[in-house]
Amino acid sequence: MNSNFSKVGHPTQLYRVEESRLVGGKGDGMRLLQLNNGNGLQVTLLPDRCLDPARVEFKGYNLGFFSPCGYVAPEHYDKEDFLRSFTAGFMTTCGLKNAGAPSVDEGEDCVTHGRISNTPCENLAYKADYTNDDGKITVSGTMNEAIIFNEKLELHRDVTLQGNTITFHDTVTNLGGETQPLMLLYHVNMGYPLLDSCLEMMVPAKSTKARDPRAQEGINEWNVIPEPEAGFAEQCYYHDIAEVDGEKAVAVFNPKIGVGLKMEYSADTLDSFTEWKMCGVRDYVLGLEPSNCHVEGRDKMRRDGRLHFIKPFETVAYTLRFTVFEADEADTIRTQLMSRI
């Protein structure tokens, strides 16, 4: 039992997971799961949107980007204009049959970033384990992307919050009788005040390529975050991240607030990494996106021979781990990551 258990009336004084619902606006009725580790880290998960983390806060500092459209329930999903229902939040899961730009691939309409982020979870379960001193909370749920005559894909997600680390372990299973394309991208979004012009990016990239001519204009400053600029046009970069012991990792650190975030992910199933740099006025966001694909759309991935597939009854696993750190750990993490290249 937690060593401080005898000092509390209700165990949620230590750490907790609580379920509530939104009232009003486009998010009306959506479930919120609010996780609190009792030591300054709070995570809000959205069971009605792929169990994605909408908000991550540490000691009062917001870490993610919340888009202008705010909370948007699945019934307001706009497949014709994805950005009108793109909450962004700390992370949006993109897939499962397309991630990135829309396209038509072998006669199939592939919508922007796929449909999974607007899919509610089933079999939601959660608990706080009070035998742990470091605040272990677990959450799980399943999302189904299935239709008659086509794909029958299942995404099962296990989330663990323990100490200052949040871990997402996902498995995608093909429950149908035909091989299907499989595209998965974790759209992780840094926002103010973590994101600011003083932000240090610790990205051990062995090489970096610009997505297009616009990105090429800033290729020598891909790791520099300017102040917000009116009319800023997005820039995307593909980084080849160094691998150690089957994992890849990047981090960011803001010396002004003394808070940083390290992200580690499985290298075998997430073999691509995209940086999305968008420094507009009120569109101020840095996307750090491990994936199994690039973002030009499924048709181009097929033409380039980079499209992943999942066979009937096959399961593919993905792990993504976030650790929040403070200024006294920044030097160690910087040395650890940048020594990889």
Positive or negative CA dihedral for 290, 291, 296, 300?
A: positive
How high is the pLDDT of residue 135? 84
DSSP H or E run through 323? strand 315-326
Alpha-carbon distance of 244 to 242, in angstroms, equals 7
In the predicted model, what is the mean pLDDT of residues 2-23? Answer: 95
Average pLDDT over residues 20-44: 97
pLDDT tens digit sequence for 239-275: 999 999 999 999 999 999 999 999 999 999 999 999 9
Q: Which two tokens stand for residue 152?
A: 């029958």
Count of H-run helices and E-run strands, the chain: 3, 26
Q: What percentage of residues in the chain have a pLDDT greater than 70?
A: 100
In the chain, where are the structural domains located? Answer: 5-338
What is the average per-residue pLDDT within 108-113?
97
Distances (CA, A) of 181 to 33, 126, 157, 176, 220: 31, 31, 20, 12, 35
Q: What is the pLDDT of residues 218-239, one digit of tens each?
A: 999 999 999 999 999 999 999 9
pLDDT at residue number 1: 83
Contact 186, 157 (CB under 8 A): no
pLDDT given for residue 272 in this prediction = 98
Task: Say which CATH class 5-338 falls into.
Answer: mainly beta
Measured CA to CA, the distance from residue 331 to residue 223 in angstroms comes to: 18
Residue 79 has pLDDT above 90, yes or no: no
Quick check: 132 pLDDT over 90?
no
Q: Which residues contact 191 (CB under 8 A, 6 or more apart)?
A: 62, 63, 64, 65, 66, 88, 284, 285
Mean pLDDT of 80-87: 94
Secondary structure (3-state) at 300: helix
The pLDDT score that the predictor gives to residue 291 is 98
pLDDT at 297 over 90: yes
Q: Is the pLDDT of residue 56 over 90?
A: yes
pLDDT of residue 134: 83
Contacts (Cβ under 8 Å, ≥6 apart) of 242: 204, 205, 206, 248, 340, 341
Residues 284-295: tens digit of each pLDDT? 999 999 999 999
Q: How many CB atoms lie within 10 A of CB 331?
A: 10
pLDDT interval class at 121 (50, 70, 90): very high
Torsion of CA 77, 274, 338, 163, to 10 degrees: 20
Q: Decide: residue 213, CB within 10 A, 0-12 exposed, 13-18 middle, 19+ buried.
A: exposed
